[in-house]
A = this chain, B = another copy of it.
Amino acid sequence: MTSLPRVRIGMIGYGGMGKAHSYAYRALNTLRKLPVEPELHIISGRHQAGVEKAAAAYGFARSTADWRKIVESPDVDIVDICTPPGTHAEIAAAAAAHGKAVISEKPLATSYEEGRMALEAVRKAGVLNAVGFNYRKLPAVSLMKRMIDDGKVGKIQHWRAIWMSDEFIDPNIPFDWRFERKMGGTTIADLGAHLIDMAQWMVGDIAEVSAQSETFVRERTDPAKPGGTRKVEIDDASSALVRFSNGARGIMEMTRSCVRRPCDFTVEVNGTLGTLHFDYARLNELLYGDGSDAVELYGMRRIRAEHISHPYAANWWAIGQGVGYGSSFVNHFGDLLEKWPQGPWDPDFAQGLKVQAVCDAMEQSAAGRQWVSVASIGN
C-alpha cells in the first residue's frame, strides 16, 4: 500500500466481475499515478461461505451476506455493483440514496424504465456514477475512438459489430438466472450493450432499429424441479439493422450460440476517408485502411496499439508485449479515480440509459417485426 489517501470500495457480488474488478483495484496504482488509492473495504454476496472465501482471495478486509449493509456503511466511499443485471438498478438507487458514488456493471438495467429510475436516483443524490463499459478502455478500442474523432475515417457511413460466443450452445446447460428475463436481461443487453455503447460513442446516436431474435434452445432442465424443464425467457441470439441519426448505417449481431467462438467480437467503421477494424481476439491490434495512402500501398495497416503515444499504453508495458482483458478494468478504474472526488465520470448512467433505450428498441422491434424508433422508448 502506498501513502496516498484511500478511497474505500464496497463491492456487491463476487463472481467473475468481482474477481476482475478486485484485480484491477489491486494492480491499479502500480501502473498509474493517481491522487488516491483504492482500499478493498468490504464485499457482499448471497452465500456467506462463498463471500468469505472471495473476500480472502480478493483481499477485502470484511464481508457480508447483506448488500444493504454496504450501501448503508459510513465507511464506504464507492459502491461497485457486480451482481446480475436484474439487481443493478435497485442497488444503485439505494447506494445513491446513501450518498455513495456508484459503479454499476453493464447493462445498467434490464429495461429502460428500471434504468431511468437508477439515473434519476444518482442525479437526485448528486453522486458520481459510472457504467462498466470496460471495452472502451482497451488501448486499441480507445485508439479507434480517437482516430475517428481526429477525422481519420472522415464521415462515417458504416458501423458493423458482431459478437459471437458459445455460452448457450450446449442444450444441456440447466436453467439459471441468465435465462430469466427479469434477472439476466437479454442477449441483446448482455453482449449487445457493449456494442451499442461503442456504436453511440464512436458514431453518434442510434435513431432506429430493425431486429430479429431467436431462442434456439427453448426449454432447459429446471434445477428446482427434478425431471422438469423451464421455458427460456430470453433470446439466444439477436441481430439488428441500425440507422444512426447522422445517416450512417449499421448492422449488429449478438449471439451465444456459436460453436468454438469463445467471446469473439469485431467492430468496424467505414467512413469517406478510411476504415478501422478491431478484433477482440487480437486485442492489441487495430487495422487501419487509409484512403489517402499511395495506391501502391493499398491495404490496411496493422497498428500495434501499444505505442507509448496511444491511450493507456504509457501505463503498461513496452510495445510488443501486449495487455489482456484485465487492462480494461485497470484503465477504467484509473480514469474514475483520477477524477476522485470531483468527477465527472465517463461513461455515466446517462450513457448507460441511452444504451438501454436501444436494447429496448431492439427487443420491441424483434417482437413486433417492425422498425422501432429509439426516441419512442420511454415515452
What residues make up the interface of A, taking CB atoms closer than 8 Å to B?
1-4, 16, 19-20, 22-23, 26-27, 29-31, 33, 56-59, 61, 153, 157-158, 160, 162, 164-165, 169, 210-212, 214, 216, 237, 239-241, 243, 247, 249, 251, 253, 255, 257-264, 270-275, 280-285, 288-291, 293, 295-304, 306-307, 309-310, 316-327, 369-371
Contact = CB atoms under 8 A, between A and B. Distances in A.
Contact of A295 (B22, B295, B302, B307): B307
Given A255-B270, A281-B304, A298-B306, 18 more contacts: A16-B318, A30-B59, A33-B57, A153-B259, A157-B257, A251-B251, A259-B272, A260-B291, A261-B270, A262-B304, A262-B306, A263-B319, A280-B320, A285-B299, A317-B325, A323-B325, A323-B326, A324-B324
A305 to B, nearest CB: 8
B317 A20 contact: yes
Contact of A251 (B253, B270, B288, B317): B253
A172 B340 CA distance: 42
Nearest to A33: B57
Contacts of A302: 299-302
A41 B73 CA distance: 32
A286 to B, nearest CB: 8
Nearest to A315: B19
B325 A325 contact: no
